[in-house]
Structure 1
């Protein structure tokens, strides 16, 4: 039984490895496959990650928030979803907490997140 679990976990880890590592506060671009009738296209959803739920498990999800026409839009994506084509990490945010729900009550400049400065040695 444990050998079977190891095989399944190895498959999930392989699927998870194709995405860059990101955390709450990072700005990402998620390429999602959308099926409309018999046509299929790729739609991009760019926004700030406000949480990652159940990290390192098979049911892991992440929530991305963006402002579209002055209205906040949030989408929850399962990390192992077959509809996710790719994830691009655009910028890393400098935040001090894992869940950024306080961003829901902020607008404009108050909702900005500072960018993490990469130190090169």
Structure 2
């Protein structure tokens, strides 16, 4: 049962390889599809990732925070949601904690002192996701060759 669950999670995570691997402290641009009546439009939200819950599960949740006109705005999104059009990594910072809830009470100046900017490579899916995709493709290829061999023996 556990093995099936692991395979299920891998398959779901490989479905969206266009998403970057996020960490707490990253500044991202999220483009969400919003449906208003019959029309759909794309709304952009740029903010800092303050928490990722269920990072290894099939449906991780991301909390993104920004300050707009002096008011803090947070959105909580399922990372693999169909509402998300794209996620672009703007800036990567090194944080000492996994959840940055203390950011809610701090000013921008003190947050800048707490978080250290780190250079990053611009790319979508990380190496880990690409490795998982290759594993799944190799496994499906092996299964199809086994099925073809069994069919040939049966005939």
TM-score range, shorter chain: 0.7 to 0.9
> 5+ unaligned residues in a row in structure 2: which ranges?
121-155
Distance 1:10 1:55, change over 3 A: closer
Query: TM-score scaled to structure 2, two decimals?
Result: 0.68
Residue 114 of structure 1 corresponds to which residue in structure 2? 116
Structure whose alpha-carbon radius of gyration is higher = 2
- Larger proportion of strand: 1
Query: In 2, distance between residues paired with 1:39 and 1:3?
Result: 42
Give the superposed CA RMSD.
2.1
1:64 aligns with 2:49: no
Runs of 4+ displaced beyond 6 Å: 1-4
Structure 2 equivalent of residue 90 of structure 1: 90
Taking structure 1 as the reference length, what is the TM-score of the superposition? 0.86
Unaligned 5+ residue runs, structure 1? none
Higher helix share: 2
The structural deviation recorded for 1:6 is 6.6
Describe the superposition over 1:13-65 as per-residue Cα deviations: whole angstroms up to 9, x where unpaired.
22242201110001000110011111100001100000100111023101000
